[in-house]
Each structure stands twice: as structure tokens, then as C-alpha cells.
Amino acid sequence: MLEAMVSGLVTFFLAPAVIMLGRRLEIVGVDVHKPWKPIVPKTGGLAIILGATAGMILGAHVSGFQLLIPVILSCLVAASIGLIEDLRGEINPRLKPLLLIFASLPILISGAYSPRPLIPFLGRTRLYRVYPVLVIASYPVVCNAINGLDVLNGSALLTSIPFLIMSSVIFYMRGDLQLLILSLVFLAAAVAMLPYNMYPAKTFIGNSGSLFIGAGITSIAIMGGIEVAAIIALMPHIMNEMYVLFSIRGLKSAKNIGKRPVIVEDGVLTASKDPDAPITLLRMICAGNRIDERRAVYAMTLISAFATLLGFLTHILLLGG
């Protein structure tokens, strides 16, 4: 697919430029999970945004797939919110979900969804009044969930790729060329960024990158009618976010938490034994273990891949593809 090729190539070749830009403008973050605490540019997400957007614009204007236009707008809204965080610091955690609601508006206004989702054992339901509310709620949930697993080098990308592979396979089997291209565009951009974001990371994808990917995944699930498969595939992300919210008792700024879920000792991650530290997927992986960063990321990826397999099987076996 030409659109996916353009997405991957633009992302890959723009990455060095946005990394240099991040250093020059001092848009950087500290890699806290390494003993030497390196300073890393957090502008890698810009390459993903530009690459995937280029692929979608190509699909919309050259191939005539107008379905991609609301996705472009939705993702750019989410990315803009993330970029504000990257440039100016953390947005109020209670305000951020409200802002991410705006990412749902292009999909709602364009009517690029079906209010009759397929649910296991129930078949095709009729949720004409409820479904738009679910669409509005889904963007803050999924975007923050993807953002919440962006804790280690490559973790956000590697835990998102299984869903993008699953959606690509489903749309290929269905013969839906537009949605297949949409999934492949995001998949290509994510894979192209891996050499720069994997351990040891040359750049972080930042809040702009993770929220952009989150909005893309949400749009793919809604427009493709694979909501149930998506919920199952993204369960590690969603549960991680829920664990954090329950353990810190609500929406709080990271600056006000003060205690980290894992401790770095000689380059090895161990789970915090402080009962007041946030409960996260990473903390559970490290519980009772001394594990290096790369192995922790691989564990998170395997968990996401297994959840995605369950989502795919659910879609195929219970929903009939």
C-alpha cells in the first residue's frame, strides 16, 4: 500500500530532524529508568504525526478515501493536547480528559460510525442514543490508556502494534480497503519509529505521539466496528490506567504523587514496596523480580499480544468476523 509506505518513510527520515529540533529547543525529558539519567528529546512523536498524516492525506486526496479526513482531524486534536503538555508541562489531570473529548467531534460530526455495534451473544445491537456518548467517552479513555503505558523505551509503540496488526488482518479479511489502509498507515509509522524509540531511546514519542496513536486506535475501532475486539486487545492498557486511578485515589498530577511504582537499582527495575506507591502494570511485572528495562518491555508486549489474540478470536468466533 502506497499510503503505508509513505507513512513509514516520512516517519523514519524525519525522526533525526525532530530529534535535533528537540535538543535545540530543549524539549527534553529525563530517562528516569536508567542509572545515569540521560536527557532525551521528547519530540519523536512529531515524526509519527507527520508521517501518518501524510499517509492519510495521500489516501484521502489521491485514492479518494474521504473517510480518512475525520480521522486526521481527530488525531491532530489529540496530538495538539499532547504537544501542549510536552511544551508547557502537565495539563490539569481533571481537565485533560475533558479536552480529549474534542478529539471525538470530527468522527461524530461526520457520522463516520455505526450506532449498531456487534456484541458477543447479543448480535448487532441498536444504540442510536447511547452510542454517541460512548464515542465521546472512548477518546479520553483510550488516549490516556496508551499514554499511561509510555513508561519505558519503546513500550507505547510495542504495546500498540499488536492492535494495529489485528485490525489490519480483520479489515483485509473483510475486504475493506479504506480501513485496511488506515490501519497500515498507523502500523507503518509506529514500526518506523521503533529504531529511535527502542532501548536505549534516542527520543521519546512524548504525549503528542502517544495521544495521536491513541486517537488513531480509537478511530479505527469505532469506524471499523471492532469495538469489542479493541476493548479486549487494549485491556492491559485500560486496566493499567484503572489500577493507577484506584491506587492514587482519583485523578492526580504526577507531581503530587511523589512515589514511584518501581525503583532503579544498578540498572535493574524492582517493584516499590511502598503501599502508597501507584499500582501499575510495570510494577506488577517487576513484583518479586529484578528485571532489566528491555525484558520488562518485552513482557508488556507479550501481554498486549496475548490480549490482542483473545480480541481477534472473540471477533472471529463470536462475532463472525
Domains in the chain, number: 1
pLDDT 10s digits, 113-153: 888 777 776 667 777 789 999 999 999 999 999 999 999 99
User: What pLDDT is recorded for position 123?
Assistant: 66
Q: Where are the alpha helices (DSSP H) in the chain?
A: 2-24, 44-61, 68-88, 96-100, 105-110, 131-148, 155-174, 177-197, 206-224, 227-233, 235-247, 281-286, 293-313
Segment-wise mean pLDDT, segments of 10 residues, the chain, 321 residues: 94 98 95 91 97 95 84 98 93 92 96 81 76 96 96 97 98 94 97 97 97 98 95 96 82 64 87 87 90 95 98 84 49
List own/partner pairs for 17-25 with CB under 8 A and 24 or more apart: 17/47, 18/43, 18/44, 18/46, 18/47, 18/203, 19/43, 19/44, 19/196, 19/202, 19/203, 21/46, 22/203
Domain assignment present for residue 67? The answer is yes
CA distances to 27, 106, 169, 270 from 73, rounded to whole Å, are: 25, 6, 25, 41
Domain assignment present for residue 185? The answer is yes
Domain assignment present for residue 92? The answer is yes
pLDDT 10s digits, 21-49: 999 999 999 998 888 899 999 999 999 99
Domain assignment present for residue 275? The answer is no
Cβ contact 312:171 at 8 Å? no
Domain assignment present for residue 258? The answer is no
Range of the domain at 113: 2-236
Domain assignment present for residue 278? The answer is no
Domain assignment present for residue 260? The answer is no
Domain assignment present for residue 215? The answer is yes
